[in-house]
Amino acid sequence: MKRREFLKAAGAAAVASQLNIGGGGGPSARAPKAQGKSMAGYADKPMETVRVGFIGVGARGSGHVSQMLQLQGVEVKAIADLYTDWAERSAKRCTDSGREKPTIYGPGKDSYKAMLQRDDIDIVVIATPWEEHVRMAVDAMNNGKHAFTEVPAAYTVEDCWKLVDTSEKTQRHCMMMENVNYGREELMCLNMVRLGVFGELLHGEAAYIHDLRGQMNEVERGTGSWRTVHYQKRNGNLYPTHGLGPVAHYMDINRGDRFDHMSSVGSNSRVRAIYAKEHFPADHKWNKAPFVCGDINTSIIRTVRGKTVMVQWDEQLPRPYTRHNLIQGTKGVWAGFPNRCVVQGESRSTDSWDQAGDLQKFFDKYDHPLYKRVANDPANQGGHGGMDFVMLWRIVYCLRNGLPLDQDVYDAAAWSVVTPLSEWSVANRGQSVDVPDFTRGAWEKRGPVTLDS
């Protein structure tokens, strides 16, 4: 290499180092200047009653209202929604249960802002289209409310930082409600990890494989009316957190370890265009714009401590549902869909799975105390196998007892940022990209999540 070329290359490397940019470029992983105090381990003063306002009560939000009505120490104060009939439907559930009718706000897109001005609301539950999550959560926190948002919390790097900075500045919780962390198998795996059953953790696999092409029939309103548009504009892992959240908890991400860098590749986009052509007229909007998002995306993450995670996403191919939920350590492995397990010293063999009836001994021995405490509660109306109720029960329990939440704003950002980083990597031939440290170094001193307090 000529001297001039060497100096040019060295200068570029120095700049990249200063900006925390990987060798292939990509979004900067450099943390902006903090605007407030860290939220690591933050707990607000205990609330005798948790007073809730809801933004969005469609398919997901209406379920949250119904579940919250079963919990002690909860008051549903207000509901905001674009559609008055949906808001009235959830309000009727409140009155049918003997509660006061919540105030309804709508139908404008900004009608929720009037609700946030009230001083008799402690938390806001946001179950709206993805593109609304950040602005609504930020508005809630800036108005003194704790924000609880559906997944993903954000889908740009800048918006992930906006959630972190606002939470730190306002000292308000911002929790992404990843319900899968509260499933029975996921809780049991977490308990087994904490007890050292799998030994030192080395690898995890997470996924969201779910054929949702049918949502495209929700054209005017409903999930498909807004979600389908994303597949026409973006190419990456658009929905990573259902599988990734539990694996991140197993691996103590943001609590002793953190995501360091990742790369991502996607397949061709095929089946949504086929579905649109078969089910809608040629001049329908689903046929007017091409679908660009790969039918299946595979991302690989490496942590600072040397663990690896494979994350897959596919919401369109004909394939049975799975989240993988695989965690591998030096002494054993658990894998989901179907559930199966190998534990050195407890399984019959290390080269064949314990599964089906063989697993009962593990459930009997390692079921998580939180699951055993809440799953059989007479008020539990289920929801995704009971995980929805366990999640909301736990949120209310932590708020009423002044405890830190199991998932904080740093988790919301770290799990959600996989989406924009995957989009960049896919667009750049799978190049590696650094993952920001949203905790600004606090991850090194934090203890793991146990969910047993």
d(CA 292, CA 290): 6
| Tokens read off for 248 | 């991140």
214 CB burial (10 A radius; 0-12, 13-18, 19+): exposed
Dump pLDDT digits (tens) for 301-330. 999 999 999 999 999 999 999 999 999 999
pLDDT, the chain, mean: 94
d(CA 126, CA 107): 16
| Tokens read off for 357 | 């009836």
Dump pLDDT digits (tens) for 104-163. 999 999 999 999 999 999 999 999 999 999 999 999 999 999 999 999 999 999 999 999
Confidence check: pLDDT of 1 > 70: no
Instruction: Name the 3-class secondary structure at 156.
Output: coil
Dump pLDDT digits (tens) for 30-71. 999 999 999 999 999 999 999 999 999 999 999 999 999 999
Q: Enter the CATH code of domain 50-176.
A: 3.40.50.720
Q: List, edge to edge, every strand of the sheet that includes 433-434.
A: 354-355, 340-343, 332-335, 326-329, 201-209, 308-314, 297-303, 259-266, 433-434
| Tokens read off for 209 | 């494989």
Confidence check: pLDDT of 174 > 60: yes
Instruction: Name the 3-class secondary structure at 236.
Output: coil
d(CA 151, CA 135): 14
Instruction: Name the 3-class secondary structure at 348.
Output: coil
DSSP string, 419-434: HHHHHHHHHTTT--EE
**Residue 11 banded pLDDT, cuts 50, 70, 90:** very low
70 CB burial (10 A radius; 0-12, 13-18, 19+): middle
**Residue 16 banded pLDDT, cuts 50, 70, 90:** very low
Cis-peptide into 448, omega within 30 deg: no
d(CA 399, CA 73): 10
**Residue 175 banded pLDDT, cuts 50, 70, 90:** very high
Closest CA to 297 of 279, 278, 316: 316
Instruction: Name the 3-class secondary structure at 362.
Output: helix
- On whether the CB atoms of residues 230 and 287 are closer than 8 A, the answer is no
- On whether the CB atoms of residues 81 and 50 are closer than 8 A, the answer is no
Confidence check: pLDDT of 17 > 90: no
d(CA 190, CA 371): 11
Indicate where the chain has its CATH 3.30.360.10 domain(s): 181-371+405-445
189-209: buried (b, 16+ CB within 10 Å) or exposed (e) per residue?
bbbbbbeebbeebeebbbbbb
| Tokens read off for 80 | 């905001």
**Residue 19 banded pLDDT, cuts 50, 70, 90:** very low
d(CA 264, CA 366): 35
Dump pLDDT digits (tens) for 410-425. 999 999 999 999 999 9
Helix (H), strand (E) counts: the chain: 16, 15
Dump pLDDT digits (tens) for 217-230. 999 999 999 999 99
318 CB burial (10 A radius; 0-12, 13-18, 19+): exposed
| Tokens read off for 299 | 């991302």
- Span 237-260, mean pLDDT? 98
| H-only helix segments in 143-252 | 157-170, 184-194, 223-231, 241-250
**Residue 379 banded pLDDT, cuts 50, 70, 90:** confident
- On whether the CB atoms of residues 259 and 437 are closer than 8 A, the answer is no
Closest CA to 125 of 51, 57, 53, 70: 53
Amino acid at 194: R
Closest CA to 57 of 2, 120, 110, 106: 106
- On whether the CB atoms of residues 396 and 71 are closer than 8 A, the answer is yes
Residue keyed to tokens 């929720």? 112
Dump pLDDT digits (tens) for 393-412. 999 999 999 999 999 999 99
Instruction: Name the 3-class secondary structure at 209.
Output: strand
pLDDT at 92: 98
d(CA 236, CA 267): 10
Dump pLDDT digits (tens) for 74-103. 999 999 999 999 999 999 999 999 999 999
Strands 259-266 and 123-126 come out as unpaired
CA distances from 398 to 141, 241, 393 (A): 18, 22, 9
181-371+405-445: in CATH 3.40.50.2300: no
Indicate where the chain has its CATH 3.40.50.720 domain(s): 50-176
| Tokens read off for 349 | 């063999």
User: Structure pTM?
Assistant: 0.93
Residue keyed to tokens 């090194």? 444
Per cent of the chain over pLDDT 70 is 93
